[in-house]
Amino acid sequence: MAQHPSLTFRLDHQSGLAPYRQLVDQVRHAVRSGLLRDGDQLPSVRDVVTQITINPNTVHRAYRELEHQGIAEGRAGLGTFITSRSRAGSNASERASLDQALQDWVADARRTGLDEETIRELIRSALHQDGKVRS
Amino acid sequence: MIEETSVLEAVNLGKRYRRTWGLQDCTLTIPKGRVAALVGPNGSGKSTLLRMAAGLSEPSVGTLRVLGQSPSPGIDDLRERVGYLDQDRPLYKSFRVAEMLRFGEMNNPTWSMDVAKNHLAHLDIPLRSRVSDLSGGQQAQVALTLCLAKQPELLLLDEPASALDPVAREDLLRLLMRQVADSESSVVLSTHALSDVAAICDYVIVLAHARVVLSDDTEYIVETHRILSVVGDDDLALPPGITVVNEQRSARGRSLLVRVGLPFNDDRWLVDRPTLEEIVLAYLRAGSPHRDGRDVDEIESGAR
């Protein structure tokens, strides 16, 4: 039987990001990092509202969004589970090295004197170029 | 039977005390299944609205419908379907908790002893304790438990967590959210703590000087407001479709909290996303006749 994974949600009310988005991001992050795997059950809405001070509607909303994104699926009467489709790109070590490479790159860019906005613009244009090559 | 989509509907609702208006021109609809916050300085009409909704006070003008009926003390049906918790959280101090529960059971046909006992067990409050021996936080929890055990469809709570320490406050809000998760009750609560609003409320009503200045879905509110700032250029025109809520000028430039209609693209302005607290404060400041008035400061300190 799939055990409840040790996922503890956190809310940052200063982030300007809607609470349901924060939950969605935290599940996505847990999947990418390997903390959550296929078939793992997400905490029930009641468990979440016992764990942190949050409106149950917000948790429902986040789980619906995760279902919509194909990361989780609701099983009637059982709860919400991580789907196998969520695996795409979840190879943890590969991801960690990409993450490291990007952090190094950002640090280099900062040393060169680029400001945050210019860095964002460079990343955006790189993604844009890549998209054009692929299509 | 017609499915009700709103739990509270007010049209041009007003309450006049001898010389002043406690609430004026109040038109709003609170959808079913929400946890709605009433926010505003003391004397802005929060308690007045809650008391009228609970049938404890009559409107002077306008109409008010709660769960599809107009509330008045004589309507037993509404008395069962609506739970009201007063600011003063009245309890019989010499009673034991178990006696308060029996009292509640005798007076409420919809009472659930299981709900009451489960909540109190969760909060580690022994049924044998005398109310007067409980801490302020525990008394607030008992008062809310009595209200929840009625299993009302709509909870009207007047500052349920005020004057509690942070842990007791957190416990109280979680108690409330567990009930919402289990029973799908709707909630309208008044509060000074904007951080609580951001945590649990998915609908926000801001009152200032007895009038409604903002009433909407929390997420929609957050999505439709931005902070625009510009350095220098004093006369820079605003992009179209924008309503200024609050403006702050300094020697270096301007910063505005605005409501946006259409998406806009104007790179002369620096655009930021405000938090819900910042938005609510901007409306409170804008609704205040003396802009740096005491009322608003009171709200801010309540949020910490």
Q: Rounded CA gap, B170 and B168, in Å?
A: 5
Which pLDDT band, with edges at 50, 70 and 90, does A22 fall under? Answer: very high
Distances (CA, A) of B83 to A14, A116, B49, B136, B150: 32, 51, 14, 21, 7
Same domain, B212 and B238: no
Is residue A54 located within the same domain as residue A68?
A: yes
Distance from CA of A17 to the nearest CA of B (A): 8
Report pLDDT for A85: 66
Note whether residue A14 is domain-resident: no
> Sorting pLDDT into bands at 50, 70 and 90, what band is A92?
low
| Residue A107 clears pLDDT 60, i.e. is over it | yes
- Are A55 and B180 an interchain contact pair (Cβ–Cβ within 8 Å)? yes
**Chain segment B43-58, per-residue pLDDT in tens:** 889 999 999 999 999 9
Q: What residue type is B201 in one-letter code?
A: C
Which domain-ending residue is among B191, B217, B243? Answer: B217
d(CA B287, CA B262): 25
> Which portions of chain B are predicted below pLDDT 70?
1-4, 73-76, 233-234, 288-304
Query: Is the model more confident about B191 or about A1?
Result: B191
Residue B1 covered by a domain: no
Mark out chain B residues that contact chain A at CB-CB < 8 A.
Answer: 33-35, 170, 173-174, 177-178, 180-182, 195-196, 198-202, 219, 222-223, 272-277
How many separate domains does chain B show? 2
For residues A31 and A75, state if they share a domain. yes
Contact (CB, 8 A) for B304 and B235: no
Tell me: do B61 and B115 sit in the same domain: yes
Q: What is the CATH number of the domain that holds A44?
A: 1.10.10.10
The model's confidence at residue A59, banded by pLDDT at 50, 70 and 90, is very high
Residue of B nearest to A60 (CA): B181
Residue B165: give the domain boundaries. 6-217
Alpha carbon B95 to its chain's center: 30
Range of the domain at A70: 19-87
Does A118 share its domain with A82? Answer: no
Question: Both B142 and B288 in a single domain?
Answer: no
For residue B302, what pLDDT is reported? 40
Distance in Å, alpha carbon of B231 to nearest chain A alpha carbon = 17
Average pLDDT taken over every residue of chain A: 83
Token pair belonging to B12? 């041009």
Q: Report the distance separating Cα B193 and Cα A13, nearest Å.
A: 13
Model confidence at A45: pLDDT above 60? yes
Residue A8 lies in a domain: no
* Residue A91 identity: N
Domain count, chain A: 2
Chain A nearest-CA residue for B32: A57
Determine the Cα–Cα distance for residues A39 and B80; give it in Å rounded to an integer: 43
Same domain membership, residue B209 and residue B233: no
B82 domain-assigned = yes
Residues B119 and B265 in one domain: no
Asked if A31 and A63 sit in the same domain, the reply is yes
Same domain membership, residue A79 and residue A123: no
A99 and A73 fall within a common domain: no
Q: Is residue B232 part of a domain?
A: yes
Domain for residue A127, yes or no? yes
**pLDDT attached to residue B13:** 95
A11 within a domain of the structure (yes/no):
no
A59 shares its domain with A113: no
